[in-house]
Amino acid sequence: MQRAKYLTGGLDLPGDKSISHRYAMLAALAEGISELRHFSAAADCHSTLACVSALGPEVKIEKDAVRVAGRGLRGLKSSWRALDAGNSGTTMRLLSGILAGQQFSSKLTGDDSLQKRPMKRVIGPLREMGADIRARDDNFAPLEIRGAQLKPIDYNMPVASAQVKSAVLLAGLFADGVTSVTEPARTRDHTELALEEFGAAIEKNGRTIRIHGFASANGGGKLLAKSLDVPGDLSSAVFFIAAASLFPDSNILIHNVGLNPTRTAILDVFAAMGASIQILGPKVAHGEVVGDLSVKGSSLKGGVIAGEQIPLVIDELPMLAALGPYTEEGIEIRDAAELRVKESDRIAALAENLRRMNAKVEERPDGLKVSGRSAGKLRGAEIDPRGDHRIAMAFAAAGLAAEGNTVIHDPDCAAVSFPTFFQELNRLVER
């Protein structure tokens, strides 16, 4: 990456990863053919489609949409081979909830990175519901799931996690009664909104969500196929917001971005840092808020991200940390030990690569402190993203304002979430 002058132009993002995963899984459980337009091109979401297809539903990937012929809540069938989630923790954790309530056995596996990520946080509550799940060291994939009749539970989550919440709610579809999940802090609610769209009986009261099993008195009995539009991925927009903010003359317009209130905390963080972001034409479609984002160059102040903010911006923290050296005050991230068990140890990867670029970094067990502009200018360097898409994209954006060239090793890892990231970034950059 060579130093840029500014960013300019318009951008259409890939479909939101989180929403695409959930729509595909629920479409498989619905009756009829669902059309999912602007479905994510991310490798993770195609891992979900491959797993769904292996369980019986016919999946057609077309130019503008994905079509899933659902088989109903009791229509999935056993796969003759292991279901491969690739690098996708969302695929593995959410499918675990669905498979736990089936009438057959399944095996879920993934790549080397995914097999190092903890699964006990999902296995625990599913076992409380009666699931029969076996895992390597009782915590890691591959997972062997023997379908069972599930019972409803009232689950108080010890740690805020949208994936754990989603796994329990999806399992709750197959429980005989009402399953409730209470969050210690708010997390993204795409699963709840998607369940409502497909016709599940779900109720929300503060941080508690209740779902009626389909066979229970108020369960509704079935899910129905839908025709849905997936909004652009806000987490992918963040790299362009950050890059544009670094240059006074930047002016970009990002179209059709998902602006779900449980995801827009990152925009609040940017605003507090002094970023110039304007939301244009917001509207609600299929329960999700969608709009355009106008981003202009600005001078960033920095700040502290901690506490209840963390689960709401967990995917965006790598980009915020990489911005630290360009801010007035620096960036401090606390209460984010979860970063150590993502696709890589993101805290260690951030600290290592920021230091390569001449940044002053204090690494901590649950976060890091990155000094601001007064600590010196960033220099271009060779970046090792450790196979982690968000590390690669964060340093590609940060490298645009560094002195000298920045080389991102293994850039193809970005395809996990954004296959055309580097092409789009280069298209917007003026040098």
Q: List active site positions.
A: 315
Cβ atoms within 10 A of the Cβ of 107, count?
17
Strands 202-205 and 154-156: unpaired
Nearest C-alpha neighbor of 360 from the set 383, 326, 390, 315: 326
CA separation for the pair 256, 236 (Å, rounded): 12
Check residue 101 and report its DSSP letter. Answer: T
Tell me how far apart the alpha carbons of residues 423 and 257 are, in angstroms, rounded to a whole number.
19
Give the tokens for residue 48. Answer: 């979900």
On the 0-12 / 13-18 / 19+ scale of CB atoms within 10 A, 207 is middle
Round to whole Å and give the CA distance between 180 and 209: 5
CA 7 to chain centre: 25
Q: How far apart are CA 103 and CA 425, in angstroms?
A: 47
Strands 6-12 and 331-333: unpaired
